Amino acid sequence: MTPSPYPVIRLKPKAQARAIRHGAPWVYDNELVTDRRTKKIVPGSIALLEDAERNPLALVAVNPNSRIMCRVLERDCGKVIDGDWLRDRLAHALALRERLYEAPFYRLVHAEADGLPGVVIDRFGDTAVIQPNAAWAELLLDPMAEALVQVTGVNTVLKNAAGRARGLEGLDADNTVLVGQAPGAPLAVPMNGAIYMADLMGGQKTGLFFDQRPNHAFAARLSKGARVLDVFSHVGGFSLAALAGGADSALAVDGSAAALDLAIQGARQAGVEARFATRKGDAFEVLGQLAEEGAQFDVVICDPPAFAPSKKALEAGLRAYERVARMAAPLVAEGGYLGLCSCSHAADLARFRGASVRGIGRAGRDAQMIHTGFAGPDHPLHPQLAESGYLKALFFRL
């Protein structure tokens, strides 16, 4: 066998090499032999991972400064991680999205599940936004952007450095333009019959959340002729979809004036501005105010940020999800619908459902659970990485 051009890093004798052979994508620092040589490997370098008997397992990206010290890139140890390899991975990801969606608005790369660990790429027509949340992707950012242009034909590539994981990898927080020119205005994104305005340079994450697309569509089916309340609305995710589905009215609540302004622009573009209203404020405070006002809605959706982004935050996060359900349930008219969402990977479906059901019960409401939703298929799950299946959406009839 031809010697590998990459440095070698080795598992400890008791580490589970079988898990890597079966597709596990991460290797933690306590599973590896870490001597002075391995600790000096430049973060983001590619290495050959071997088991304790020196049998090759995979090509991995190494970051000695991270708890996840190795991320599996390629199980064929004879491959070279270069521009051709990146083009192959991107073409494989693109083929799935082109089969799923008629218009080029989707998550193109969903990290480990698309074989590019730590990398998120969202596509907005001729513009793509890369979040390189791992050191190896930062080192290969220029060839990755070049491959992205070659494979997809986009003419603008932006780097978004807002990912929380970048800090854990020791990476900067600088947004930059990699190819082309930064958009001078928010981009209009059609989805589920609605139009969303995405601020790719100054908005949250990459500018828009594609993951909720199927849950927006389900909520829209419930919303025909309905009064809709969309709490933690961002740029109007559920409310604009509901209006496109025939809702009589929709109220979007968010703490960000900039996000609500984008929601108003989206409503205007879609011609539904007359049925759309916004309310800026802390979501819990607004829920309390609406209850005091005696407000009632036929459909209430709450899509908060990650209350439990880590295991340490789990218990506090579950209490927050229970509080959302308890405060939202009284606002739902008899026979109406309540949608509750979580994007916290630390709060699995069973725990999130338990917190939501407790909150509804504490509000004195009886409920039928009618649907459980997840992220769309452009956010595929890695079957051996629970974190890739972070999004949950529960719909109840009260």
Tell me if residue 341 falls in helix, strand or coil: strand
Pairing of strands 45-50, 26-28: unpaired
Confirm if 45 and 61 have CB atoms less than 8 A apart: yes
Tell me if residue 258 falls in helix, strand or coil: helix
Give the alpha-carbon dihedral of 134, 137, 138, 141, to 10 degrees. -160
CB atoms within 10 A of CB 180: 16
Q: How far apart (Å, rounded) are the C-alpha atoms in residues 16 and 288? A: 51
Q: Can you say whether the dihedral through the CA atoms of 349, 352, 354, 356 is positive or negative?
A: negative
Q: Can you say whether the dihedral through the CA atoms of 184, 180, 135, 208 is positive or negative?
A: positive
Reading the block at residue 381, the tokens are: 């799950």
End-to-end C-alpha distance for the chain, whole angstroms? 65
CB under 8 Å to 369, separation ≥6 — which residues? 353, 357, 394, 395, 396
- Cβ burial of 42 (10 Å; 0-12, 13-18, 19+) is exposed
- Closest by CA to 89, choosing from 47, 162, 178, 150, is 150
Confirm if 14 and 7 have CB atoms less than 8 A apart: no
Q: How far apart (Å, rounded) are the C-alpha atoms in residues 270 and 280? A: 21
Confirm if 254 and 233 have CB atoms less than 8 A apart: yes
Confirm if 98 and 90 have CB atoms less than 8 A apart: no
Confirm if 375 and 122 have CB atoms less than 8 A apart: no
Q: Is 70 one of the annotated active-site residues of the chain?
A: no
Confirm if 87 and 98 have CB atoms less than 8 A apart: no
Reading the block at residue 230, the tokens are: 């969309």
Active site residues: 343
